[in-house]
């Protein structure tokens, strides 16, 4: 396939993500699985799509130096120009003439001669003038927003909660390419055997740093492998695999997963339980419970019972003191997965995050009575917002004296995570994306007192 096709594929994907509010990760995986592109070309498509979404604000600022009203451009023309600027500003192996020629040819094909001439002229002017000087942007909050390509409200939120240095480290990490991790299915194989199987299918891996069930994929489409179809692996970020370590499921337990779709953590619990015991998996949406069922079938897990129920009403459906473990993997603002889904930072608002905290708290309230005495309540999110994480869980503990911090929490996690505990006496950890090049993730664990 020609590089022309590569750029058109990237352009189509970016348009789809923007217009349809599609998740970049899902749109990319779907498109690349269906395409006949070579692996090298697939890698370039991925780089272009993620790169433009990650650096959009910086690219828009650069483009505005040459086009006064960028928002008045047709979407495809604007994105084509942003994609071209990205190649010049952030990639070092693409010659200037190739950037201009490819963009001009696409413009000729999609538009008319005038559009092609406009695109050609803008790019040649950019190549002559070079990148704009970001240091002149005032005030400083606006400059940092453009420089790190994050909305001002989000940098301000993180600065208020973590300090400016950490806020900028988070933003910097968000703009790096995400790693692809897979989880070994212990019911069917071992990490070593899976690595060897994937190597035979042309996919290189290495053992990951945090989870004993995790491999880092070095290149290739893991979802297209026979190993995937045979249920030997699940695609999942390494940080979220730590939920299973936190829950510590054992064969014979009865476990409730209150917000389980699409089933990554649920199936991990089932694998750890050796298909012995029972997992009740709830989700508000029926299509997500079907995804859990599909995943369980592929992986060979037989102990998961799914139900489409609002988790805030779980205590109306199940008797008190029913479950050994209750997992609340709460719906959240998703600010920890921006590296993997960069469109989140442009679509979410602070009000969105604020609206979620009452829902998260209501789910915890409904889950609390269902935990057996001596059992555990585990709370997790994939966000980096303390109002949804440590502050919410601390408030819950203060309101529910029947719970305490679960004292063995950190003994079940990698030793290095003790350095990132949310407070000295607590059983909570906040993983930021620059710590281990994973998604940002929060986990806390409470124990219901025996009496």
Can you identify the CATH homologous superfamily of domain 239-448? Vaccinia Virus protein VP39 (3.40.50.150)
Classified as helix, coil or strand, 65 is coil
Share of the chain above pLDDT 70, in %: 99
Q: Taken in order 289, 291, 294, 299, is the CA torsion positive or negative?
A: negative
Confidence of residue 22 (pLDDT cuts 50, 70, 90): confident
- The Cβ of residue 198 has, within 10 Å, a number of other Cβ atoms equal to 24
Confidence of residue 3 (pLDDT cuts 50, 70, 90): very low
Q: What is the pLDDT of residues 330-385, one digit of tens each?
A: 999 999 999 999 999 999 999 998 999 999 999 999 999 999 999 999 999 999 99
Look at residue 35 and tell me whether its pLDDT is greater than 90: no
Q: Topology of 3-132 in CATH?
A: N-utilizing Substance Protein B Homolog; Chain A (1.10.940)
List residues with catalytic annotation.
Answer: 382
Comparing CA positions, the residue from 52, 74, 176, 183 lying closest to residue 118 is 74
Question: Where in 194-322 does DSSP place strands (E)?
Answer: 205-207, 214-217, 233-235, 254-257, 278-283, 304-308
Classified as helix, coil or strand, 234 is strand
Q: Taken in order 395, 398, 403, 405, is the CA torsion positive or negative?
A: positive
Q: Taken in order 77, 78, 80, 81, is the CA torsion positive or negative?
A: positive
Q: What is the pLDDT of residues 207-220, one digit of tens each?
A: 998 999 999 999 88
DSSP secondary structure, 185-224, as one string: -TTT--HHHHHHHHHHTT--EEE-SS-TTEEEE-SS-GGG
Q: Taken in order 204, 207, 210, 213, is the CA torsion positive or negative?
A: positive
Q: What is the pLDDT of residues 256-292, one digit of tens each?
A: 999 999 999 999 999 999 999 999 999 999 999 999 9
What strand order describes the sheet that includes 180-184?
A: 205-207, 214-217, 180-184, 233-235
Look at residue 4 and tell me whether its pLDDT is greater than 70: no
What pLDDT, on the 0 to 100 scale, is given for residue 2?
Answer: 44
Domain boundaries, the chain: 3-132, 180-235, 239-448
Q: Topology of 180-235 in CATH?
A: Alpha-Beta Plaits (3.30.70)
Q: What is the pLDDT of residues 51-95, one digit of tens each?
A: 999 999 999 999 999 898 777 889 999 999 999 999 999 999 899
Question: Is 314 in contact with 370 (CB distance < 8 Å)?
Answer: yes
> Which residues sit opposite 181 in a β-bridge?
216
Cα separation, 305 vs 22, whole angstroms: 29
What pLDDT, on the 0 to 100 scale, is given for residue 211?
Answer: 94
The stretch 186-206 carries a mean pLDDT of 97
List own/partner pairs for 142-147 with CB under 8 A and 24 or more apart.
144/168, 145/57, 146/57, 146/58, 146/61, 147/58
Q: What is the pLDDT of residues 378-404, one digit of tens each?
A: 999 999 999 999 999 999 999 999 999
Cα separation, 325 vs 205, whole angstroms: 33
């Amino acid at each position: 396939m020609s590089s022309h096709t590569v750029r058109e594929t990237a352009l189509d994907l970016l348009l789809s993500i923007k217009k349809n509010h599609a998740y970049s990760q899902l749109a990319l995986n779907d498109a690349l699985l269906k395409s006949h592109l070579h692996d090298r070309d697939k890698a370039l498509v991925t780089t272009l799509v993620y790169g433009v979404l990650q650096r959009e604000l910086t690219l828009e600022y650069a483009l505005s130096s040459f086009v006064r009203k960028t928002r008045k451009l047709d979407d495809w023309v604007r994105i084509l120009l942003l994609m071209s600027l990205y190649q010049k500003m952030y990639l070092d192996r693409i010659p200037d003439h190739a950037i201009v020629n490819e963009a001009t040819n696409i413009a000729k094909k999609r538009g008319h001669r005038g559009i092609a001439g406009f695109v050609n002229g803008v790019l040649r002017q950019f190549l002559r003038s070079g990148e704009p000087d970001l240091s002149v942007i005032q005030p400083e909050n606006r400059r940092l927003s453009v420089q790190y390509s994050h909305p001002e409200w989000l940098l301000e939120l993180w600065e208020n909660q973590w300090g400016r240095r950490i806020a900028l480290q988070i933003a910097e990490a968000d703009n790096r390419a995400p790693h692809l991790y897979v989880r070994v299915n212990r019911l069917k194989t071992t990490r070593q055997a899976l690595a060897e199987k994937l190597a035979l299918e042309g996919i290189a891996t290495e053992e990951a740093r945090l989870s004993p069930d995790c491999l880092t994929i070095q290149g290739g489409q893991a979802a297209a492998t026979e190993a995937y179809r045979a249920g030997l692996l699940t695609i999942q970020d390494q940080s979220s695999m730590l939920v299973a370590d936190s829950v510590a499921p054992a064969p014979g337990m009865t476990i409730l997963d209150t917000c389980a779709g699409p089933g990554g953590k649920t199936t991990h619990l089932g694998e750890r339980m050796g298909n012995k015991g029972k997992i009740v998996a709830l989700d508000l949406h029926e299509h997500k419970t079907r995804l859990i069922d599909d995943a369980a079938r592929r992986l060979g897990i037989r102990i998961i019972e799914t139900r489409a129920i609002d988790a805030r009403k779980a205590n109306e459906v199940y008797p008190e003191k029913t479950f050994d473990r209750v997992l609340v993997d709460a719906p959240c603002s998703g600010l920890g997965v921006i590296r993997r889904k960069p469109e989140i930072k442009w679509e979410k608002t602070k009000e969105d995050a604020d609206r979620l905290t009452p829902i998260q708290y209501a789910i915890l309230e409904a889950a609390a009575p269902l935990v057996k005495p001596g059992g555990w309540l585990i709370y997790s999110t994939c966000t980096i917002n303390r109002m949804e994480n440590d502050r919410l869980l601390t408030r819950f503990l203060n309101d529910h004296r029947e719970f305490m911090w679960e004292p063995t929490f950190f003994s079940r996690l990698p030793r290095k995570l003790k350095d990132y505990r949310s407070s000295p006496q607590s059983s909570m950890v906040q993983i930021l994306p620059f710590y281990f090049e994973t998604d940002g993730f929060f986990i806390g664990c409470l124990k219901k007192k025996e009496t």
